[in-house]
Structure 1
Amino acid sequence: MKIVTWNINSVRIRMDHVKELVEKYAPDVICFQETKVRDEQFPLIDLQAFGFPHVHFSGEKSYNGVAILSKIPFSNPQALSWCGREDKRHTSIELEGGIEINNFYIPAGGDEPNAETNPKFAHKLQFLDEMTAWSAGRVDDGKKRIMVGDFNIAPLETDVWDHKKLKNIITHTQTEIDRLDKLQASGNWVDAMRMHILPEEKCFTWWSYRARDWRASNKGRRLDHVWVTPPLKDSVKSCEVLLDLRGLEKPSDHAPVLVEFDL
């Protein structure tokens, strides 16, 4: 089974990119973040025509929004709310065979890493705390789970282009990294990407639009993640950041991440 997670930064604008992804890599499940479309305008029929009859989505106008596309039948679709808001940052499904997939878009956090003066950063930390409590409450059931999405945190020094320059910049501050570590520990989550892209290797999934030549400068960050619970750890067979999709005309600033499982 091939799963892709991708912050697509507006699904309707990038339907041609989705088509290329599907034709070239043949994923079985695609998890989108930042779909940026209300549910009544979601391109359901067009996406189903790409070979994904089973779709679960939760969106809003111009911001956020998440969706899961699947070739495999699923049950129990959910879209949980967080921090007392309705800002469409989570969807989940359960595939045939009992594998649960959770798709998250964690808040970016604004520009200043100070929760007292920056409400956006305070929101991000609260969101992570709520995710941790949610995860901890389910850790002992032994269920096979996959958690993917744009976490907006690059935890390792090799997840950013320059650790020293970015250690006080949101996405790579110690405060965020500590919160993400607590979340990971709460569910005994395994970083599936770093099972196959070794922790000492640079790995990026996001490059700013500000860079004229993002490939040459390569000032990236790994903001997109795939985690699994221990019962799925040995099933993770490969991981790839699909750089060619980031290189298309008018791309998302994120590259898709493809993880393959042997189930």
Structure 2
Amino acid sequence: MTTSIKIASWNINSVRFRIDIVERFLTEAAPDILCLQETKVIDGDFPKAPFERLGYKHIVLHGQRMHHGVAIVSKLPLAEDDRLDWQANGEARHVGVRLQNGMRLENVYVPAGGDIPDRDENPKFGQKLDFIARMTEWSETLNDMPVLLVGDFNVAPLESDVWSHKQLLKVVSHTPVEVETLAKMQAANDWVDLGRRFVPAPERLYTWWSYRAKDWAASDRGRRLDHMWASPALAPAATEHTVFEHCRSWLKPSDHIPIMTEFAL
């Protein structure tokens, strides 16, 4: 029997501050699983009650005070969680689980990388590239496993993933070295970019708009920083991909929006 599973991902930029819109999203979109990034809370202070009240009783956390943090909340049982340190500095940027059907779900928050796209002038940029390089090595070990990798990659790889390819070539998140580094990671497991499978380039596709814009929708200076990549064993099961752009207009919004893929498994 085929079962439909909806999996969403959202950089929420503080889950406690934005819990109202998280509850709204869960009520309206009704994913089976939600992966959150930048939760900004230690595990003991994570607001479990609102999720449990909505039926998300399976919660796996990797939190950190004030910064970073990832979480997976699910209506479905989760097992075999792990927390990989791809930055080799103890920051809470990954959590992975296995579903009962054998599928792996990996939730990641890639470092932003600072403002200067130079490893020597800006160590944060080097840490970002090294983080993705470690993810590349990990990707090579997955073989034929059904894996979904989701999260804030902090890289917009394609020209149509940003509002101006020319103006952002030297801006962190769209520089050639970041795009090349991410491409190597994608090739390491033949990852399928589900966003672009369902919304093929060169169609506009953004998931992030800066808070600096007075009217984000009017200026529309967006970037596609949030991604869902499926392993070759899983990708054929993806049936629908949704980008919830309207959530950027909600009260006290994150600068990122949720994305969701439905699978027939």
TM-score (norm 1): 0.97
State the Cα distance separating 1:245 from its structure 2 match.
Answer: 1.5
- Asked if structure 1 preserves the Cα contact closer than 8 Å seen for 2:37 and 2:71, the reply is yes
Instruction: Tell me which residue corresponds to 1:68.
Output: 72
Matches within 5 A, 1:8-87: 8-87=12-91
| Aligned counterpart, 1:233 | 235
- Trace 1:1-263 onto structure 2 (pairs within 5 A): 1-138=5-142, 140=143, 142-263=144-265
Q: Secondary structure at the match of 2:156?
A: coil
Q: How many residues align?
A: 261
Distance 2:83 2:133 in 1: 18
Give the whole-Å Cα distance in 1 for the aligned partners of 2:210 and 2:158.
19
* CA–CA distance in structure 1, aligned partners of residues 86 and 202 of structure 2: 34
Equivalent position amino acid for 2:230 in 1: V
SS state at 2:50 partner? helix
- Whether the 8 Å CA contact 2:23–2:50 is kept in 1: the answer is no
By how many angstroms is 1:239 displaced?
1.1
Q: Matched residues in 1 for 2:87 and 2:211: separation?
A: 30
The secondary structure found in structure 1 opposite 2:59 is strand
Q: Distance in 2 between matches of 1:146 and 1:30?
A: 13
Tell me how far 1:137 sits from its aligned partner.
2.0
Q: Which moved more, 1:219-228 or 1:77-86?
A: 77-86
- Distance of 2:86 and 2:234 partners within structure 1: 26
CA distance in 2, matches of 1:50, 1:8: 18
Where in structure 1 do 4 or more consecutive aligned residues deviate above 3 Å?
none
8 Å contact kept, 2:207–2:256: yes
Q: Which amino acid counterpart does residue 72 of structure 1 have in structure 2?
A: L
> Percent identity between the aligned chains?
45
Of 83-92 and 101-110, more deviation after overlay is shown by 83-92
Q: Distance in 1 between matches of 2:78 and 2:66?
A: 28
Verify the 8 A CA contact 2:21 2:251 in the aligned structure 1: no
Q: State the shift of 1:22 in Å.
A: 1.1
Q: In the aligned structure 2, how far is the partner of 1:129 from the partner of 1:198?
A: 26
Whole-Å separation in 1 of the counterparts to 2:95 and 2:241: 22
**3-state SS of the aligned residue for 1:178?**
helix
Counterparts of 1:195 and 1:137 in 2: how far apart (Å)? 24
Aligned partners of 2:73 and 2:201: how far apart in 1? 30
Distance between the aligned counterparts of 2:263 and 2:147, measured in 1? 12
Q: Output the TM-score relative to the length of structure 2.
A: 0.97
User: One-letter code of the match for 1:182?
Assistant: K
**CA RMSD of superposed structures (Å):** 0.8
Corresponding residue SS for 1:230: coil
Cα drift, residue 240 of structure 1:
1.5
Ranges in structure 2 where 5+ consecutive residues have no aligned partner: none
* Separation in structure 2 between the aligned mates of residue 104 and residue 41 of structure 1, nearest angstrom: 20
Unaligned runs of 5+ in 1: none
